[in-house]
Structure 1
Amino acid sequence: MKLPGFTYHRPESLDETLSLLAELGDDAKVLAGGQSLLPVLALRMSSVAHLIDIGRVAGLDRIDRNGDGIAVGARVRHAEVEHDPAVAKAAPLVSAAMPLVGHRAIRNRGTTCGSLAHADPSAELPAVALALDARLVVRSRSGERLVPAGEFFQGVFTTDLAETELLTGVRFPPWPAGAGWSVRELSRRHGDFAIAGLAAVLDLDRDGAVESAALSFFGVAGVPRRVAEAEQVLLGERPGAALFEEAGQIVAKALEPPEDLHGSSAYRKHVAGVLTRRCLKEAAERAGAGR
């Protein structure tokens, strides 16, 4: 199917991009990898008067590594993040989630920041960003602001981005020395969006007790969702099957997933509880192995 008509812009600089956004407002959409936007346009599920392609904008194609963790620019492809050894070391949960994102062809074109800006509640990367307390770098002609992941995602395909703003990057904090991770999902086929999924981080202290925990679910609400009640019950306790079972039960009670053709609310609640137990076990094993 052919795309609907639009005016195509291909700026060469960030300043030019921000000027276009300031001028065109909600008549414009930004194109990076296009793996979410172009299918929506081709299926006539949406239309746009102006398309701003940032494929030539300098400075947005880097993965920066420093003491503050990892920063991923708006033009960086999923595949680049997936295979970057520095990301695997400094943000292993991000690397672990990448093979679950679509198929290889999609990861070769799609961008990490594009997935975050698209804000599909069944996508992996928004939940990963929430689990890691990532900060999203937002720019406009008025300046730059850093938005915590917990404030960025506001609803289905809805974010804190204003019409005149561009998501220029995402910053993942330094990885805790004693932390383990796990990301799992249930989907009909590999590459499909998740019926339910979980990105988990478990940080152990020197005595092997849980110092901090993050349980960030996707596919179970209109935004990625952390279950603070389940995280809290883990703190100060030693990892074990009984503890993980308790956390899983809390998760199943706390969530109220939507119902659709792929699964009932009750089924998604059950899956979320099972994923909690499995992810916590895997994260605890990795945390112990890294000590």
Structure 2
Amino acid sequence: MYSVNYQRAASVDDAVKKAQGGDAKFLSGGMTLIPAMKTRLAAPSDVIDLMHIPGLKGITISGNDVTIGAATTHAEVAADQALKKLCPAISHLAAHIGDPHVRHRGTIGGSIANNDPAADYPAAMLALGATIVTNQREIPADEFFTGLFETALEEGEMVTAVRFAAPGTAGYAKFPNPASRYAVTGVFVVKGNDGVRVAVTGAGEDGVFRSQEIEAALAKKFDASALDGIQIPSDGLMSDIHASPEYRANLIAVMAKRAVAAANG
């Protein structure tokens, strides 16, 4: 490690003020930032701890409308009984992120702000048509995720909450990396009042994306059988030591079937 200034923020405004001048990074759960600093992939001048800011934690449900504070941990999302009843798919997703240590430290806000191409939450936010709330504005998920580790967040802007309407039906399935539990490929499917939305994580060269082919097939019949024989293009899919683009294309179809079966189950 190298010299770094640690600062604990008392409020959102305080965090933004502390981050001005220099190369500061916001610290939520630290599940990505701390390892990146240890391996010197990141070298911020200041680390601004957000975990003690009142109002950034917690889950609020009003009818079908769900608001989750940015500092809410994966374990808290997984364990919330009201959320599990209203939208079991996102509780299931949270319960299968990483290991217990990651789930009890990592946060939903940190995950989507980092936008790792193999993270689970970006797929949920995109498929649910969520709104990402920041200290400055509200950003539709369709506009928030802009590329590998890239988002629409601007300098001095931080995620404070996510908000979405619980759909009538939703499901998530992923093929996890056995070591990290990140998604080699994961698919989140939603059937709601606005139709079918399907988001894929772990597979795209540019990060999370919606699958038009699967959405079109499920719009006709929201059943796993509707995806029999579907062909997913391998163009634009990642190739790495874990899987080829062609293998990921096949995984998208398989995980989509499992996600639909879970949603209908």
TM over 0.5: yes
Does 2:221 align with 1:223? no
TM, length-normalised to structure 2: 0.92
Q: CA deviation at 1:115?
A: 0.6
The aligned residue for residue 35 of structure 1 is 31
**For the residues of structure 2 that align with 1:66 and 1:146, how far apart are their CA atoms?**
19
Q: CA deviation at 1:33?
A: 0.9
Moved over 4 A (4+): none
Of residues 257-266 and 88-97 in structure 1, the stretch that sits farther from structure 2 once superposed is: 88-97
**For the residues of structure 2 that align with 1:269 and 1:239, how far apart are their CA atoms?**
19
The aligned residue for residue 208 of structure 1 is none
The aligned residue for residue 112 of structure 1 is 108
Match of 1:128 among 124, 135, 138: 124
Query: Deviations along 1:94-149, whole A, 9 cap, x unmatched?
Result: 1010122110111011111111111001011110111101110111xxxx311111
Match of 1:54 among 39, 50, 54: 50
Query: Deviations along 1:170-216, whole A, 9 cap, x unmatched?
Result: 1121333xx2x22111133164212111111235x9xxxxx822221
Structure-2 change in CA distance of 1:32 and 1:238 (3 Å): closer
Q: Is the 8 A contact 2:28 2:49 kept in 1?
A: yes
**For the residues of structure 2 that align with 1:36 and 1:61, how far apart are their CA atoms?**
19
Which one-letter code corresponds to 2:162 in the other structure? V
Structure-2 change in CA distance of 1:165 and 1:68 (3 Å): farther
Which one-letter code corresponds to 2:152 in the other structure? D
The aligned residue for residue 154 of structure 1 is 146
The aligned residue for residue 193 of structure 1 is 182
The aligned residue for residue 70 of structure 1 is 66
Of residues 122-131 and 49-58 in structure 1, the stretch that sits farther from structure 2 once superposed is: 49-58
**Structure 2 unpaired stretches of 5+:** none
Which one-letter code corresponds to 1:72 in the other structure? I
RMSD (Å) for aligned C-alpha atoms: 2.0
Which one-letter code corresponds to 1:46 in the other structure? A
Q: CA deviation at 1:68?
A: 5.4
In structure 1, the residue corresponding to 2:199 is in which secondary structure? strand
**For the residues of structure 2 that align with 1:183 and 1:191, how far apart are their CA atoms?**
18
Q: CA deviation at 1:54?
A: 1.2
**For the residues of structure 2 that align with 1:194 and 1:280, how far apart are their CA atoms?**
17
Q: CA deviation at 1:279?
A: 2.2
**For the residues of structure 1 that align with 2:218 and 2:75, how far apart are their CA atoms?**
34
Q: Is the 8 A contact 1:244 1:280 kept in 2?
A: no
Of residues 153-162 and 53-62 in structure 1, the stretch that sits farther from structure 2 once superposed is: 53-62
Highest Rg: 1 or 2?
A: 1
Structure-2 change in CA distance of 1:102 and 1:81 (3 Å): same
Structure-2 change in CA distance of 1:43 and 1:240 (3 Å): closer
**Structure 1 unpaired stretches of 5+:** 206-210, 287-291
**For the residues of structure 1 that align with 2:222 and 2:163, how far apart are their CA atoms?**
31
Which one-letter code corresponds to 2:113 in the other structure? A
